[in-house]
A and B are shown apart, each in its own frame.
Chain A
Amino acid sequence: MKAPPFAYRRAENLTAACALLDAHGGNARILAGGQSLIPTLNLRLSQPELLIDISQIADLRGIRVGANEVVIGALTRHVDIERSADLARLCPTLVEAARHIAHPAIRNRGTIGGSIALADPAAEWPAAALAFNMTFTAASSKGERTLSATGFFKGLYETALEPGEVLKSIHVPLPAAGGKAAFGELTRRSGDYAIAGAFVNANLSGGRLSGVRIAFFGVATQPVLAVGAMQALEGTGGDAAALSAARARLEADLDPIADLYNSRATKLHLSGVLLGRLVAKLFA
């Protein structure tokens, strides 16, 4: 279908974007890469009066390595992450995950900031943000504030961003010396939304896991930290008994929702299968 009519303004900088958001309130939407927003317009699932295009704001794009973190500008595209030599060296799991986002033509325009701000429960980046303890910088006409990924995702397409705020950058803590991470997702066809997907992030020292963080996507109305499974694996060697205990906690952790093709039981089972594969990857 064709999108309904809307007005369009190109913001030259973040200040201008925030001013436009203030002026138009809830009737305006931020347009970044548009790879999720434009389909919802085409399907007439949303009808904003104004799109504020931030895609030309150059200083919102790019990957910078700091002393303790990698800073990813909100407008950094999935393809930029896929091709980043810095991320390949420091956070290869993110590079691996980027390759699983839709298809090349979508990854050439879609942005990490758009994905996180939209908070699609089936998207990779919101779950990655939880697993890697990322923080976000949000800007508004009142200034900037830092938000933790934990607590940011409030529900279906719902985040802790306040009206008038624009997501500016994503901050990924550099992994510790024994840092290990793994990513996986199960799909029917390449590029489809995942039936179940997850990131596992932990420290591995002397064969024992610590600081375990596990985030699932595609199973519930928002990305989910599997807190019970994290506790079950903490301090263990990821052996069969620990894994079995972790899997037993997934039902309460995830509370999966059936989709058109997969029942709740299937999603739960597949989440457990995935968890086993990812824990094995940590020790590989």
Chain B
Amino acid sequence: MDHLITVNLKVNGTDVTKSVEPRTHLVDFLRNELSLTGSHAGCEHGVCGACTVLVDGEIVRGCLTLACQLEGAHVQTVEGLTESGAIADLQTAFHQRNSLQCGYCTPGMLVCASALMDEHPQASREEIREYLSGNYCRCTGYEAIVDAIESTMKNRAAGKALAGEDA
């Protein structure tokens, strides 16, 4: 009854065609088939957020999405966001503010925060906490994570304001 499904999708800008078992979760597909081990499998039932990745620009749970469902989709992982430099400032802020200890939740946090900064670039601390409520961190107590996101948002807004003045 279990047959392989061929799926064509884009991962971090690269076309990928693979045959997958239907039960393969997106996070396991990324880690085991494509060796993109930045996305972490934590709880595997949608609670912890460590597997958060972007599908067509929106955050999803990698453990609640089947790889075979992603025909034609564009998946972006923490590796893709890192290589493009899209979150370099956020990563620097995480580093500077000690926003990670064991680092297990960090890729999910970065992807989630990146989506928040795109959707609500002027989010308040309360809104940041609400948006991140589906991403668990068992080390930091969140304060430093919220600090890093808030400061990155402020820096980006200030940068944009400067760019606007230059224009």
**A positions within 8 Å CB-CB of B:** 1-8, 10, 31, 34-35, 38-39, 41-43, 49-51, 53, 55-56, 79, 102-106, 108-109, 189-191
Contacts and interface: CB of A to CB of B under 8 A. Distances in A.
Given A3-B23, A6-B23, A38-B64, A106 B1 contact: no
Interface in B79-130: 112, 115-116, 129-130
A108 B23 contact: no
Interface of B: 1-3, 5, 21-23, 25, 28, 44-46, 49, 52, 55, 58-61, 63-66, 68-69, 71, 112, 115-116, 129-131, 133-135
Contacts of B58: 79, 108
15 contacts: A1-B44, A6-B1, A6-B2, A7-B1, A7-B3, A8-B68, A34-B69, A38-B63, A53-B69, A103-B133, A105-B61, A106-B61, A109-B64, A189-B133, A191-B133
Contacts of A31: 66, 69
A39 B64 contact: yes
B119 to A, nearest CB: 8
B33 to A, nearest CB: 14
Contacts of A56: 71
Contacts, number: 99
A196 B53 CA distance: 31
B23 A43 contact: no
A105 B49 contact: yes
Contacts of A51: 22, 66
A34 B66 contact: yes
A113 B139 CA distance: 37
A104 to B, nearest CB: 6
Contacts of A5: 1-2, 21-23
Q: Would you call the interface of chain A mostly helix, strand, loop, or mixed?
A: loop
Contact of A4 (B23, B44, B45): B23
A105 B52 CA distance: 8
A9 to B, nearest CB: 9
Given A105-B134, A190-B133, A7 B22 contact: yes
**Closest 8 pairs between A and B when the two form their complex, measured CB to CB:** A103-B134, A8-B22, A190-B133, A5-B2, A39-B45, A3-B23, A105-B59, A108-B58
Contacts of A106: 46, 61, 64, 134
Contacts of B55: 108
A7 B22 CA distance: 6
Contacts of A104: 59, 112, 115-116, 131, 134
Contact of A49 (B1, B5, B66, B135): B1
A169 B3 CA distance: 31
Contacts of A39: 45-46, 64
Nearest to A41: B23
Given A10-B71, A108-B59, A190-B133, A35 B64 contact: yes
Nearest to B21: A5
Contacts of A49: 1
Given A108-B58, A191-B133, 15 more contacts: A1-B45, A6-B1, A6-B22, A7-B22, A31-B69, A34-B64, A34-B66, A41-B23, A42-B25, A42-B44, A104-B59, A105-B60, A109-B60, A109-B61, A190-B130
A106 B65 CA distance: 10
A55 B63 contact: no
A4 B2 CA distance: 10
Nearest to B53: A105
